Structure 1
Amino acid sequence: MHYPKIFLGLLGMTAAILAAVPTQANAEEYPSRPIRLVVPFVPGGVTDATARLVADKLGQSLGQSVIVDNRPGASGNIGAEMVAKSNADGYTLLLGFDGALVTGTHITKPRFNVLTDFAPVTKVGDATLIFVASPSVPAKTFNELVAYASTKKSTGLSFGSSGTGTTCHLAGELLREQAGINLQHIPYKGGSQALTDVLGGSLPVLCTAVASVSQYVKSGQVRAIAVTGGHRVASLPDVPTLMESGVKNFSVDSWVGILAPAGTPPSVIARLQQETRKVLEQPETRARMLDLGITPVGNSPDEFAKQIRRDYARYGEVVKKAGITLN
């Protein structure tokens, strides 16, 4: 049987269109099942609270549940490695933060490469850090703290953080280098004991997230010296930045963001970023995050990737210069 060429041409076009339909439908189906958001720390704390807030709202926006999965251990490396090795389909995500991904990785040497094994989705927010002193320390300003530290010639003025290689640890090392302040780092296994010790007076100085100590600053149980970011924070408007205190170009913020395994389809990354940004723009989400001490961001995957590369290089130099290793 012979058919006119025009009919055969139309038949071929129809077949091509029908063949493309399933592909388009599959692309539009994401997500078609629940998504797992891995938090590489134990439940509780600012990071976990942020994850649960975003997961709940993001699940509503996507029309599928976003389940928080706490996978603590090895300074955040266990959870991060699990995500790095997961299927790149958008159904396993990481709620990562800089302390685990771009600072601690220079020291812990994990079995993943933060620059190549992840596809950044978006930075969820920035958390400003703060240096506070025990009331037993005779210093009310940063310059007074520098002067007091200079009297500790042999031992240095002890400052605590939640662990070796954390953002607060490296912020202290940067401060020692740029301001010439005589600081000696004391690593803790988590922030709660460090906070207890600075409240009790056995730890002179602590670097931590603003949200962790704002109530103690307001009650006078600890003394705020300065925040580390580029601007003051709304919850403690009277506390100056380190730049205002005379340390030029000093700006260190901790951040938290969403990452997927490398190779995740760009369309999936784009959908996740767009829906997360919408969630972060919701007034109730923004208000709750500000209460947690985190300023919502929701930037593009490319912008987030650039910051990860920049911070990784920056803190790598700090670790190298300070000779920081795990004891």
Structure 2
Amino acid sequence: MNDNTLLRRRELLASACALAAAGLAAAPATGFAQAGYPTKPIRLVIPFAPGGVTDTSGRAVAEFLGKRLGQQVVPDNRPGASGNIGSQLVASAEPDGHTLLLVLDGTFVINPHVYEKVAFDPVRDFAPVGKIGNSTIILVANPGVKARTLKEVVALSKSQPGGLSYGTSGNGSITHIAGELLKQRTGANLTHVPYKGGGPAVADVLAGHIPLAFASAASITGHLKSGKLVPIGVPSARRSPQYPDIPTFAESGAPDFDLNSWVGIVAPAKTPAPILQRLNAELNAVLNDAAVREKLAASGIAATPGSAESFGEVVRKELAAYGPVVKGAGIKAD
């Protein structure tokens, strides 16, 4: 090989290296982070038993999200400890976007306060993907209760030596927080009666065994229409789009009362930003789909597409706000 041939080969090699470097520099960062994401089916851990509102909403979103991502999103029910077991499973999963968590408000913003020890930090150990939607909570009464407004309920509770009892879906639930916050804000004389689920609480109000209950709208729609239950108010800042005739607590004399039950999706911390951005974009597209919104509405959930950052802010805000309520009421996990 003569010197000219050797020099020519070196020039070609140098040129090829330069082109490769330029291509790497020009390649979008998402190409490296996603590497064709998703490359396999995605597991959506649902930390509750099948059949509930949370499970139903998760499955509705999973079906459509999988179609948009080009890989199946597989619901995986891992119930136990009010959602703590499934949440810990995802917190320690590989942060590659192939394991996600369906999260309920109680798991992230209440459990850390009512359990002596929770093996995950809802802010440190997870990255928000997006909120799926809000589930309306309604304070309802048996028609025999001589109160039709929140002010009348508070006044009636103070006028009776034993006060009024209210049922919820369980100790440390978001409905329990609603009742305790109402007591703290208004001085109402209320006694909490926890049930194993919202259904039994509503059944006892219908039967007249207890006068009041905080319940999810989806579980009482028929009873409201039939007049078997009387709606007192919703504890959120705005009226429910599904029940626009029911006043808010703020409108009824309890200012700055803003409490929602919600469900959303998170990923393990350190999941690459491009993957999180892709998931959020596809989730929002799913939530804007009329068929999905209809499925969620049937479960009592109003779809709330939005940014991952806004969902993360909801978690941080409520986590800080509910701590004093739990401490003031002395709520501890069963």
Alignment of 1:109-258 (within 5 A): 109-153=117-161, 155-258=162-265
Whole-angstrom distance in 2 between the partners of 1:72 and 1:48: 11
1:2 aligns with 2:7: yes
Whole-angstrom distance in 1 between the partners of 2:96 and 2:35: 13
Whole-angstrom distance in 2 between the partners of 1:22 and 1:3: 32
Whole-angstrom distance in 2 between the partners of 1:307 and 1:90: 22
Distance 1:115-1:22 versus aligned 2 partners, 3 A rule: closer
Structure 1 counterpart of 2:104, which letter?
F
SS state at 2:143 partner: coil
Is 31-40 or 11-20 further displaced after alignment?
11-20
Alignment of 1:1-327 (within 5 A): 1-3=6-8, 7-16=12-21, 24=31, 27-108=34-115, 109-153=117-161, 155-327=162-334
SS state at 1:306 partner: helix
Identity, in percent, stands at 45
Instruction: State the Cα distance separating 1:17 from its structure 2 match.
Output: 5.5
Distance 1:147-1:260 versus aligned 2 partners, 3 A rule: same
Could you say which residue in structure 1 is the equivalent of 2:3?
A: none
SS state at 1:321 partner: helix
Instruction: State the Cα distance separating 1:145 from its structure 2 match.
Output: 1.0
Q: Any conservation in 2 of the 1:214–1:235 contact (CA below 8 Å)?
A: no
How many residue pairs end up in the alignment?
A: 326
- Structure 2, unaligned stretches of length 5 or more? 1-5
Whole-angstrom distance in 2 between the partners of 1:38 and 1:111: 17
Instruction: State the Cα distance separating 1:298 from its structure 2 match.
Output: 2.1
Whole-angstrom distance in 2 between the partners of 1:3 and 1:157: 93
Instruction: State the Cα distance separating 1:19 from its structure 2 match.
Output: 6.8
For normalisation by structure 2, the TM-score amounts to: 0.92
Structure 2 counterpart of 1:120, which letter?
P
For normalisation by structure 1, the TM-score amounts to: 0.93
Instruction: State the Cα distance separating 1:178 from its structure 2 match.
Output: 1.1
Distance 1:141-1:68 versus aligned 2 partners, 3 A rule: same
Computing the radius of gyration from Cα coordinates, the structure with the larger value is 2
SS state at 2:145 partner: coil
Tell me how large the CA RMSD over aligned residues is: 2.1
Structure 1 counterpart of 2:148, which letter?
K
Whole-angstrom distance in 2 between the partners of 1:219 and 1:119: 43
